[in-house]
Structure formats: structure tokens, C-alpha cells
Amino acid sequence: MARYLITSAIPYINGIKHLGNLVGSQLPADLFARYQRGRGNEVLFLCATDEHGTPAELAAAKAGKPVAEYCAEMWEVQARIADGFGLSFDHFGRSSSEQNRKLTQHFAARLDDAGLIREVSEKQMYSHADGRFLPDRYIEGTCPNCGFDSARGDQCDNCTKQLDPVDLINPHSTISGSTDLEMRETKHLYLAQSQMKDELEQWIDTREGWPVLTTSIAKKWLNDGDGLQDRGITRDLDWGVPVMKGDAPWPGMEGKVFYVWFDAPIEYIACAQEWVDAGKGDDWARWWRTDKGADDVTYVQFMGKDNVPFHTLSFPVTILGSKEPWKLVDYIKSFNYLNYDGGQFSTSRGRGVFMDQALDILPADYWRWWLLSHAPESSDAEFTWDNFQATVNKDLADVLGNFVSRITKFCRSKFGEVVPEGGTQGEAEAALLAELTTRVRAYEGFMQAMEVRKSAQELRAIWAAGNEYLQAAAPWTTFKENPEQAAMQVRLGLNLIRLYAVLSAPFIPEASARMLSAMNTLDMEWPGDIDAALAALPAGHAFTVPDVLFAKITDDQREDWQARFAGVRT
């Protein structure tokens, strides 16, 4: 039994996330976690809300609530929606937890002991209109690298270049909109990433099979321009992890907090501690400490491409620089962007379909299937309502749903609601078995390699193979001349439903559970031998005819949704 530690990039607390956020991290992570559990492997799947920094403060101010109260409420909302989408986290934590506070301060002290933290007097943007220093994300302007006109003070979302506010062209405050800004003197702690460049590069070179997207971004940040730069890890904010050394304030850093991108990845570890403290697990260290058993863990991270620099550079610098035996990531699965109907999804600008709205329209499996089968792996992808309707209707309704409906209803009409006996398999069945064996093994390979779209394509082909067999075998015709032969065909078809339920569970867990329930079985054993899997439900086994698995999306529905979600969420 293999062991997999799986983390999804933790979503900001500032509101409900859109479908682009979902497919860029949480959903494919859930797919992989469900698959590994289905194969009998041990999995710890962690995620949390990212609650510190500018996004939380701005969102709380907009909501007219204290930031701690706002974060607590939004954690509840995000946890409920995640559950609605069937995200099977072993624990969904919070970066504002006491565990993360202590661990963040611990890492900072260790890095300081290693000579990797230095104090820097610098000039930071001050807004006269707001009467305060502006953290990076309170400042927007034009990116000097690509010309994107909504780049933030820490990073351009368009080209992913790491920035400082002073780099921006025509910067303005996101609080007041004021351009009356000036640079003022302040002091901050910097993580000396430049000292770790060689060690970091050597570590990256040992990672096997990383996606080109991941390695290209990491190498670009390591080697472009002046190379890996030291990075400020404190901010002039009220909300965050206090900058402490032991039990006392860090000298000269009174009133400051750690930068959100320093403490947020540390929450992955703290989340495991929360998991134990919540009574869900009994040993977090065996997942995170190589001196406690984590050396046999495969650690996989899932994230959008904008998060790659921090996970390939800054967080590994924190781990390596601590000189402690922490588990480092083995594989980073990164994704491009999912765009929305000719534009971009945007939480901050309220553009696109958001997760709560999606669940109000249709059950989660409709969205899970479309998003995963169109995952933006090799390039950016685009959500359109026309494509969504076509995919749901063809794949889910016409291929899978139609197969389940036809075979169960026919069996009920001719043999009753039990698996019929009689008949012997022939060449058609042997050909189906050979095709399914080949395709299931290919599906396993794609899933293990985290090739999401190829996995979906192979799964659909597995569904289609059953449909094609049923269409050619035509048990409704066979029954007229040879009822026993028709019984064999139907028996095979009913066992295909159970097989499809098992194979499809990582993609469409709710529909999978409904198929298993209809087949009156809890047997989720992964199909090693396809021949045996297709005999799992013996003659005489009772079943029920399920309700329609997937209703087709009508043109009227599509047109209505297209108009309702034209691009702006108020």
C-alpha cells in the first residue's frame, strides 16, 4: 500500500471562489485523492482557507465586519460549498489557526538561526488618502513587463512576474483609488532566498516528471534577470501571524505580521496538526517529518500556474533553510487558466460562474465532469455555455446515463429486477472484454500520471464501449429468438454498471454512488481482473431501476443561464 500526501492550493478567504479556481487546484486534487483511495492506498488530502493579508482585510471592510468574524463566517461558507462539490478533504483547515501561528513563528526562528533572515530598511508605498502604508495587494497599476493594466503590487496575474509596488506604472490604492502615494521609510524582515539558489536549483533538478509548465516557471524565476531575489516576509498590517521570536516580539518588528505568502504554505503542515487535534487522525508527523516515517510518502501539490513560483521557490526555501527533516514536495501538478466566455474569471472583479451559483443550477457531477474533461493542462481553456451543454448531453446523458437506463429498464421488463441467469459468452463479449482490459489499464496509467483530460477521455471511451456493445448485441431483439442469450447480454450489461460506478467514482462520485445503490451493492473493489469484475453481480442478485442519472440541458436553459451569468456578479 502506497502513501500519498495531497494538498490543494489554499483558496483566499475573500468570498466564494469561481469555477476557474476550482479546476485549477481543489477539483483535480480531489480526483487524484479519490483515485488513490479507490486503489487501496493511504491518502491524507488537506486544504484550508488562506485568511491573512490584504484580501481578507479588504473583503472584511467591504462586508462591514471585523476581519476575524468575517474569516470565520467565510470558512463556514467555503467548507459547505466544498462539501457540495464532493471535495473529499480529510481536513479543511484555516491558516489563522493556532497551529499555523506557532509553526510560522517556529520556521522564522529557524531561518534566522540559519542566517537566512535579514532586517532591511526600505521605502514602502504610503497613501495619504488612506493614512497608512499600503501592502502589496492594496496597490494596482500597469505591469512593466507585459503591460497588463491590473497588475498587483506583488505579482502580475497575467504574466506571473514577481513585482514590488514601486515597479508598477501609474500605481493607485485599491482602497480609495487614490494616486496620491509616496515612498516612506519602514523596516521589514527579508528571507535571503538568494543564498539558497544553488541548493534550490539542485533540488528542483531531482524532481522527476514535473509538468513543463511547473519547471519552466520555476527555472524562469531562478535564472531570469538578476536571478532569485531575497523576499520580504513581513508587512505593516494588523491581521496576520505576529512577528515574534519565541514568546517575545521580534526586536524592531513590533506591530508587524508575517507576509501572507510566508505563512500560507506552512498551513499545509499546520493543517495536518489541526487534523489530529480535531480527532480525525493520530499522527501528523508520519506524513510531514522524514525522521518520523514520511520518507515513504509521495507528496503531490495541485495549483494554478500563478501559485507555482511560491511553491517551487519560496516555500522550499523555508523548508530547506530550516535544516529540519520536513517532507518536501515530490510532484507539483500545475494548471493554466480557465477563462469564461471570451474573458477571464475573476474573484476580485466578480466575473464568471461562482461555485455557489453553479450548485444552484445543477448537481455537482455535471460541473465536475465538464471541468475535469476540459482541465486547462497544456494551455488555457475556456468555459462556454454551448460547450457545457454539448458535453453534458453527449457524455453524461447520451453515453453513460442512456446505457444505465436502457439496460436496467429492459431487464425489468423481461426478467424482473434481478440479474438473469443463462446463456454463454461469445466473440462479441470476448472483444468487449479485451477492449475494456486495454482501456482500463490505459485509464489507470493516465490517472497515476495525473493527466486529467486524457483520463476523462479514456473513461468516456470505456462508457462508449458498453453502449456500442449493447447496440450491436441488441438484447431486445435477441430475446425474441433466444431468451437465454439475451439474459447473458443483460447480465453483462448490469455488471458493466457496477464497473462504471467504480471507475467513475473519482470524476462523478454522486452518480457513482447512485449506480452502486441501484445495483444493490457496496462493492467498490478496483477491477484488477476485468473478466472477474464483469461477474461481480451473480445471477439472482436483486437491483432497482434508478431515476435518470443525468437530465439533458435544454436550449432554453442554456440561453437563460447565458443571460443570467453574462459576466458580472454583483
- Which candidate, 91, 93, 96, places its Cα nearest to that of 68? 96
CA distance 471 to 483: 17
437 known ligand binder? no
CA distance 302 to 197: 24
pLDDT computed for residue 136 by the predictor: 82
Residue 421 phi, psi (nearest 5): -110, 165
Q: What is the pLDDT along the chain (570 residues), one digit of tens a residue?
A: 999 999 999 999 998 999 999 999 999 999 999 999 999 999 999 999 999 987 898 889 889 999 999 999 999 999 999 999 999 999 999 999 999 999 999 999 999 999 999 999 988 889 999 888 887 878 999 999 999 999 998 889 889 888 888 899 999 998 889 999 998 899 999 999 999 999 999 999 888 889 888 998 888 888 875 668 899 999 988 899 999 988 899 999 998 999 999 999 999 999 999 999 999 999 999 999 999 999 999 999 999 999 999 999 999 999 999 999 999 999 999 999 999 988 887 765 667 899 999 999 999 999 999 999 999 999 999 999 999 999 999 999 999 999 999 999 999 999 999 999 999 999 999 999 999 999 999 999 999 999 999 999 999 999 999 999 999 999 999 999 999 999 999 999 999 999 999 999 999 999 999 999 999 999 999 999 999 999 999 999 999 999 999 999 999 999 999 888 875 544
The pairing of strands 338-340 and 381-383 is parallel
CA distance 392 to 507: 13
pTM listed for this prediction: 0.92
State the fold for domain 3-104+261-366+377-381: Rossmann fold (3.40.50)
47 known ligand binder? no
Residue 5 phi, psi (nearest 5): -95, 120
CA distance 252 to 308: 32
Give the start-end residues of each E strand in 101-180: 117-127, 132-133, 139-142, 151-152, 169-173
Find the angle CA(525)-CA(526)-CA(527) to the nearest 5 degrees: 110
CA distance 561 to 361: 9
N- to C-terminal Cα separation, the chain: 48
Q: Where in the chain is the domain with CATH 1.10.730.10?
A: 384-533
CA distance 343 to 332: 27
Provide the residue type at 5 as one letter.
L
116-249 maps to which CATH number?
A: 2.170.220.10
156 known ligand binder? yes
CA distance 173 to 171: 7
271 known ligand binder? no
pLDDT computed for residue 501 by the predictor: 98
CA distance 264 to 392: 36
State the fold for domain 384-533: Isoleucyl-tRNA Synthetase; Domain 1 (1.10.730)
Scored b (16 or more CB within 10 A) or e, 219-238 reads eebbeeeeebebbbbbbbbe
pLDDT computed for residue 565 by the predictor: 81
Q: Which three cell numbers stand for residue 473?
A: 448485441
pLDDT computed for residue 570 by the predictor: 42
pLDDT computed for residue 569 by the predictor: 44
The pairing of strands 117-127 and 132-133 is antiparallel
